[in-house]
Amino acid sequence: MRGRHTVREYEVREYETIQDFDQEELEELRSLGENVFVFEKKPDDTLAASNYTLAASNYVGIVTTKRGTVVEVLPKIDLGPDDETTKHFFLRMLRCSRYLRCPEKLPQGESNIRAVRRFPILHVFVRQFLITLKALTRSGLAKRYVPVEENLPYLRGRLLFREQIRENLTNQARFYVAHDELSVDRPANRLIHSALTKLAPLARNTENRRLLRLMRQFMEAADVPQSANPHADWQRHQVDRSMSHYKPVMQWVKLFLFKQGLATYYGPHRNLSLLFPMEEVFEDYVTHSFQSHQEAYAARAKQPQKKLACINNQKAFTMEPDITLSAGNRVVFILDAKWKRIDASPDDPRHGISQDDLYQLYAYAKGYGCEAVALVYPQTQTFKIRKTCHADKTEFRYQLPDGVTLLCLPFDVAHPQESVQHSIAALTGS
């Protein structure tokens, strides 16, 4: 691997073209668009190598160039004391995201600190996919019955009289028959084989290469062809009850083969970028945490939707909260997750909170009849859960019109259960 560079969201770094990126690589990175990277050339009075600044945008993940250079973009808010710990918790969050919904199926222990130390995130993604696929192969590849016509020396299935006369009129020792045969040649298996082929040139870690070679040999030995039309196969493939062990594997296949979030092979060299909007990853992680770590309320994402505005008796706009906490059919609390650093300084009563967010939460409160709503932000060194029995001293509380209370709650991604319990206590005033 030629090199690895680590930046954080919105962080600006200076690079020398000759030492870090050649001109072709710069163009590759620019091709992703300014929503990922922004490069600016800086004048150099010494006439040495041209200097550039790289500014990461609001996507987190990895980008590779055709020469093997890897750029990792990590979350802007520290999730741990070092990059490896930050990557560890980012991967934990990603498991629960809409881009990879299989948290219960991923092998435990493989995303611990040792698994990400000294390795780019890409290697960890590939390792998770290969280990999950290896577990699938132990259960066996799913098969299906496919119709087969062949000329056999024995009778099997249904004799095809027209073909029998045409092929075997002078050879009565053979039978032209049609029958059903179990085959591994089905869309899901073809897609898996294609994903392995796509990853082959990118797997540079020794263990990943070994596992990938083993899995490719397994697919070839099982006579699984590669997909001739991945998009069509993806539309046709189904994960039914008999294939429940395929679900986590197919999530990885979707990630590697298709545009997912901003995950795609781009350019003529099919370099891999796996980039995720951190706002959505955080929102999904908070939702999953409230679904997993409390039972007092039913936590739902983007539901229930309510009508906001109509025109000519037709619904034109709807309300779609990030997270609702319901008791029975009644929405009790509404949460909106924001991946943003809060200014906990007492000097500013706004604390960096967007006024538009307050308008939105107030509209939700009125539309759903809630007395309390909340903005959930990631915990930082200055905005965090305090070990106190007084819930009203651990978060910001704003009093909105008509008796509506809006809370700003810190969420510690390293301790989701504690964060959920603290949030429930703050919302209920207990």
- Omega before residue 147 within 30° of 0, cis: no
Region 51-66: mean pLDDT is: 73
Cβ within 8 Å of residue 140, ≥6 positions away: none
Distance CA 245, CA 192 (A): 13
- The three-state secondary structure class of 233 is helix
Pair 394, 381: CB distance under 8 Å:
no
- In this predicted structure, what is the pLDDT of residue 338? 93
- State the number of CA atoms in the 13 A half-sphere of 54 facing the CB: 23
pLDDT tens for residues 406-415? 999 999 998 9
Distance CA 114, CA 208 (A): 15
pLDDT tens for residues 170-223? 888 898 888 777 788 889 999 999 999 988 887 777 888 899 999 999 999 999
Six token digits for residue 221:
């030995």
Cα dist from 300 to 219, 317, 412, 414, whole Å: 39, 20, 20, 22
Distance CA 301, CA 320 (A): 9
In the chain, what are the domain boundaries? 1-78+262-277, 144-183, 293-428
Residue type at position 127: R
Tell me what the pLDDT averaged over the chain comes to: 79
Distance CA 157, CA 153 (A): 13
Within 204-312, strands assigned E span 264-266, 271-277, 298-301, 306-311
- Residue 255 phi, psi (nearest 5): -65, -45
Strand partners, 356: none
Residue type at position 103: P
Residue type at position 55: A
pLDDT tens for residues 255-313? 888 755 444 434 434 456 677 888 889 999 999 999 999 999 999 998 888 888 888 88
Region 377-382: mean pLDDT is: 86
Distance CA 4, CA 62 (A): 10
Pick the more confident residue, 192 or 385.
192
What DSSP line would sit under 299-343, residue for residue? EEES-S-EEEEEETTEEEEEE--SEEEEETTEEEEEEEE------
In which residue are the tokens 């007395």 written?
371
Cα dist from 247 to 106, 142, 226, 250, whole Å: 11, 12, 19, 5
With cut-offs at 50, 70 and 90, classify the pLDDT of residue 85: confident
- CA-nearest of 285, 316, 322 to 77 is 285
- In this predicted structure, what is the pLDDT of residue 353? 87
Conformational region of residue 161, where left means phi above 0, alpha means psi within -120 to 50, and beta covers everything else: alpha
Six token digits for residue 71:
């750029």
Pair 65, 85: CB distance under 8 Å:
no
Region 83-110: mean pLDDT is: 67
Strand partners, 329: none
Label the pairing between strands 3-8 and 69-74.
parallel
Distance CA 75, CA 85 (A): 11
Rg for the chain, CA atoms, rounded = 27
Distance CA 425, CA 430 (A): 5
Strand partners, 276: 60
Distance CA 331, CA 305 (A): 11
- The three-state secondary structure class of 267 is coil
Pair 257, 198: CB distance under 8 Å:
yes
Instruction: Indicate if the pLDDT at residue 314 is higher than 50.
Output: yes
- In this predicted structure, what is the pLDDT of residue 38? 64
